[in-house]
């Protein structure tokens, strides 16, 4: 894509004076005459705080954190405290713009130009909808939904974002990582492994945090605070974590799968307090060109761990590791390509040297996401990741549907499902969609048996 010549503020306003783009100009404080881009943070947990830090660490001028919101005040306060130690002049949030509760996101959107959406994933489609309707640029973390209606909502709003000339980045950072970008060129443009015929993608790790219920805490707020363990908030770890690897499969193959079947369950993490999600999933995805990708993810200790992707072609294999150790071999095992970091260090000449060289010379893809987004806003260049963010989220959700049900599902069947795990509106008075039984256990899907609504 050719980068257009940067436009001045006056030129930008003139070019966008008509149609839907005018709404963006009218509602954006930056476009209306200020040199500032006011950033709003919605969701102040670890990932939200990290994303805000990266937004404030770009080289763009006039970036300020203007407002924050979180369901829990202590998280908003803690995030701001940390951000102020790193960006004292850029954190311009007074007490009147620290919003708590489940509706605080509306006030952040109203007061800012660019919003960071990092709440539990179930909220993402509705926060994205509100931001785009208000004419705001968006950075949103993956996944972008937990169910098919949510994915369809994001797809709908992605089109409206284009109509309004809004910029959207989704936190699938491998698409912004040099070793992956170069590997894709080697595979697609130079054909070093021939045509892809199969793939393996992995996110096998030890597990995730858990938070005890606090005195006086409602069941709703307890579940939101432990959002990772509830399907309506997280979509299960195949959706929340493993989406990174599944997204790489879609990216390298060039589209979404047409069907999925798989298996999963709970073997180590069986206590009632761990909500609904599985501790392992295995899915076989089949793509339109006949390529099959085997997908593995698990949260178990004392077993084989791996977070990577590999694809087999007619002439060889490519291996992708997010540390930067990407390389390709022929079918005899001879290395035919190694990634070299931007500083020129050899990418795979020994584990220690390779990792040190890549990490010290390649840009941080988490940072590149925000650099790219803010540059697109300033220069008025097209940028909208919501389309592939929705497609990869739907791929992950389809995998969960397959493991929960034990059935083979088609893409159309999964995408058009009317099962909605996440309510469209959640307030402090909302009854959570799932509740514990007399023993404190939550409903867990059992393949082949009725119970949890799946498809």
Q: What is the pLDDT of residues 269-286, one digit of tens each?
A: 999 999 999 999 999 999
Does residue 192 register a pLDDT over 70?
Answer: yes
CATH number of domain containing 211: 3.30.360.10
Q: Name the pairing type of β-strands 63-70 and 37-42.
A: parallel
Tokens of 334: 């001879």
Q: Is 321 domain-assigned?
A: yes
pTM reported for the whole predicted model: 0.90
Domain count, the chain: 2
Does residue 11 register a pLDDT over 90?
Answer: no
Residues 378 and 410 in one domain: no
Q: Is 428 domain-assigned?
A: no
Q: Report residue 453's pLDDT band, with 50, 70 and 90 as the boundaries.
A: confident
362-389: per-residue pLDDT in tens?
999 999 999 999 999 999 999 999 999 9
Residues 234 and 112 in one domain: no
Q: Report residue 7's pLDDT band, with 50, 70 and 90 as the boundaries.
A: very low
Look at residue 34 in the predicted model and tell me its pLDDT. Answer: 61
> Is the distance from CB of 122 to CB of 347 less than 8 angstroms?
no
Q: Is 426 domain-assigned?
A: no
SS3 218: coil
Residues 187 and 42 in one domain: no
Residues 86 and 186 in one domain: no
54-91: per-residue pLDDT in tens?
999 999 999 999 999 999 999 999 999 999 999 999 99
CATH number of domain containing 106: 3.40.50.720
Work out the percent of the chain whose per-residue pLDDT is above 70. Answer: 89
Q: Is 194 domain-assigned?
A: yes
Integer Cα distance of 236 and 423 in angstroms: 17
Least Cα distance to 27 among 132, 140, 124 occurs for 132
Q: Is 389 domain-assigned?
A: no
Q: Is 101 domain-assigned?
A: yes
Look at 111-125, 218-232, 283-297, 437-451 and tell me which has the smallest mean pLDDT. 437-451
Residues 193 and 153 in one domain: no
3-state secondary structure 380-436: CCCCECHHHHHHHHHHHHHHHHHHHHCCCEEHHHHHCCCCCCCCCCCCCCCCCCCCC
Q: Name the pairing type of β-strands 168-170 and 327-330.
A: unpaired
Which domain range does residue 74 map to? 9-173+366-384
Look at residue 296 in the predicted model and tell me its pLDDT. Answer: 98
Residues 347 and 250 in one domain: yes
Does residue 23 register a pLDDT over 80?
Answer: no
Look at residue 5 in the predicted model and tell me its pLDDT. Answer: 40
The mean predicted confidence, pLDDT, of the chain is 90
Q: Is 245 domain-assigned?
A: yes
Residues 183 and 134 in one domain: no
Residues 188 and 263 in one domain: yes
Residues 169 and 92 in one domain: yes
Work out the percent of the chain whose per-residue pLDDT is above 90. Answer: 85
Q: Is 440 domain-assigned?
A: no
Report how far apart, in Å, the C-alpha atoms of 381 and of each of 3, 4, 138, 180, 181 are.
7, 7, 14, 23, 20
Q: For 420-443, what is the mean pLDDT?
A: 95
Residues 403 and 360 in one domain: yes
Q: For 394-418, what is the mean pLDDT?
A: 97
């Amino acid at each position: 894509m050719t980068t257009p010549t940067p436009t001045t503020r006056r030129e930008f306003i003139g070019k966008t004076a008509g149609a839907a783009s005018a709404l963006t100009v009218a509602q954006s404080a930056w476009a209306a005459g200020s040199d500032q881009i006011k950033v709003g943070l919605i969701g102040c947990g670890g990932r939200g705080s990290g994303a805000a830090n990266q937004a404030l660490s770009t080289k763009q001028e006039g970036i300020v954190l203007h407002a924050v919101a979180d369901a829990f005040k202590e998280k908003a306060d803690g995030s701001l405290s940390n951000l102020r130690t790193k960006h004292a002049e850029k954190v311009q949030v007074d007490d009147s713009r620290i919003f708590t509760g489940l509706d605080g996101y509306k006030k952040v959107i109203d007061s800012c130009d660019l919003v960071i959406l990092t709440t539990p994933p179930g909220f993402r489609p509705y926060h994205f909808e509100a931001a785009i309707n208000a004419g705001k640029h968006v950075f949103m973390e993956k996944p972008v939904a937990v169910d098919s209606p949510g994915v369809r909502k994001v797809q709908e709003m992605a089109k409206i974002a284009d109509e309004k000339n809004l910029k959207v980045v989704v936190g699938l950072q491998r698409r912004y990582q040099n070793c992956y970008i170069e590997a894709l060129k080697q595979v697609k443009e130079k054909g070093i492994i021939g045509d892809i015929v199969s793939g393996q993608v992995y996110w096998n790790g030890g597990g995730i945090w858990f938070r005890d219920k606090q005195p006086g805490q409602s069941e709703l707020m307890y579940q939101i605070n432990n959002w990772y363990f509830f399907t309506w908030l997280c979509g299960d770890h195949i959706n929340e974590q493993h989406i990174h690897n599944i997204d790489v499969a879609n990216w390298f193959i060039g589209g979404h799968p047409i069907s999925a079947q798989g298996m999963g369950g709970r073997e180590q993490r069986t206590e009632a307090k761990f909500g609904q999600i599985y501790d392992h999933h295995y899915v076989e995805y089949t793509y339109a060109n006949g390529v099959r990708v085997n997908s593995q993810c698990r949260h178990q200790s004392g077993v084989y761990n791996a977070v990577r992707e590999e694809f087999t072609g007619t002439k060889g294999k490519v291996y992708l590791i997010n540390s930067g150790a990407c390389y390709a071999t022929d079918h005899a095992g001879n290395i035919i390509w190694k990634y070299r970091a931007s500083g020129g260090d050899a990418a795979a000449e020994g584990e220690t040297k390779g990792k040190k060289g890549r990490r010290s010379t390649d840009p941080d893809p988490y940072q590149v996401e925000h650099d790219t987004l803010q540059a697109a806003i300033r220069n008025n260049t097209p940028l909208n990741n919501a389309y592939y963010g929705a497609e990869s989220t739907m791929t992950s959700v389809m995998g969960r549907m397959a493991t929960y049900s034990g059935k083979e599902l088609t893409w159309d069947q999964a995408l058009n499902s009317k099962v909605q795990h996440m309510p469209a509106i959640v307030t402090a008075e909302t009854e959570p969609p799932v509740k514990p039984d007399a023993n404190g256990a939550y409903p867990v899907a059992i393949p082949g048996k009725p119970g949890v609504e799946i498809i």
